[in-house]
Structure 1
Amino acid sequence: MKTVKVSVVTPDGPVYEADVEMVSTKAKSGELGILPGHIPLVAPLEIGAVRLKKEGTTEYIAVSGGFIEVRPEKVTILAQSAERAEDIDVARAKAAKARAEKRLQDAQEHVDAKRAELALRRAINRISIVERNL
């Protein structure tokens, strides 16, 4: 089966590198499915999961925005933050979710609602990645 090389990189360094059969993720313009030989593309990413199909299994990586660059032989994901499912601290993600929900419920003038909403989306994404990986 044909494969494409995938690299997921953050400002802190590489998170993932492997040859996979398919990459799926959510860009701002919609869902992307990338196979080997895909046409060149650059797109901004949403907070969400990157699904990597490899040898009959699916691996998940939580990304918090960034960009995807697709070339026929390589896919590079430049993310603000990215975590493999096995590296996610579930307790920390649940605590972040609870904090963000509390900030949104107690919305006052000094609370940045947009920032709290993004924190909530990131926490929910991280929790769902772990649950999918079980």
Structure 2
Amino acid sequence: MKDGIHIRIVTAASTVYDDMVSYVELPFSGGSVGVLQDHAPMLGAIEDGVVTARKDSGTEEFVAVNLGVANIVHNEVTLLVRAAERAEDIDLARAQSAEKRARERLAEHSADLDVKRAQIALHRALARQAAVRMMKGQ
């Protein structure tokens, strides 16, 4: 595809997604941002959530992401994120178990609880589940 948007989602370990698409929706802090071809340059904070990448064919792909930065310039969208996982690679039962564990930890209110870490785990589990639901059209 000559026209379109090149999107790359990168973690410290690897490139999780790298493709040409016609539309991207990003989970920015403060709300979702849709990106079409020739979007104005933009730099922003990525929140825990799901990146939606739509191809010219109309098919959509979903990637769960956790905290990072997005750079949009000259039809290039680059996300540098803490963690990313394509929806088709997510084990839904594992994500649901992670959510349950995180909620249980947060409900404990123990003195040695790392609240921030438990909240991060909860948000990641919820983003992973959302990506799978979106992939399945639910």
| TM-score of the aligned structures, taking structure 2 as reference length | 0.91
Query: 2:119 aligns to what?
Result: 117
Q: Pick which of 28-37 and 16-25 moved more.
A: 28-37
Letter of the 2:41 counterpart: P
Q: Structure 1 CA distance, aligned partners of 2:40 and 2:133? A: 32
Any unmatched runs of 5+ in structure 2? none
| TM-score of the aligned structures, taking structure 1 as reference length | 0.94
Letter of the 1:6 counterpart: I
Any unmatched runs of 5+ in structure 1? none
Query: 2:65 aligns to what?
Result: 63
The 3-state SS of whatever aligns with 1:38 is coil
Query: 1:33 aligns to what?
Result: 34
Query: 1:45 aligns to what?
Result: 46
Query: 1:127 aligns to what?
Result: 129
Q: Give the deviation of 1:94 after TM superposition.
A: 1.5
Letter of the 2:88 counterpart: E
Q: Which runs of 4+ in 1 moved over 6 A?
A: none
Q: Pick which of 87-96 and 15-24 moved more.
A: 87-96
Q: Structure 2 CA distance, aligned partners of 1:19 and 1:89? A: 26
